[in-house]
Amino acid sequence: MWTVLIILLVAWAVLSIVGFAFEGLLWLGIIGIVLFVGTVIFGLVRRSVARRAS
């Protein structure tokens, strides 16, 4: 599970960098940041739920 989250975080970071590097792809950078933050929040929620279950 953590491997998938890390791969997604790297993908979103790359999309954000590409989006902000090219002026016409600014929307891609914004979407990348939103997805990055969403993935981090999802990972933190999953981790806290797993700790409570143990």
Q: pLDDT digit string (tens) for 7-32?
A: 999 999 999 999 889 878 888 888 98
CB 16 within 8 A of CB 29: yes
Segment 24-47 shows an average pLDDT of 90
What is the token pair recorded at 12? 């979103």
> Is pLDDT of 41 > 80?
yes
3-state DSSP helix/strand/coil percent for the chain, to nearest 5? 95, 0, 5
> Is pLDDT of 42 > 90?
yes
What does the domain layout of the chain look like in residue ranges? 2-49
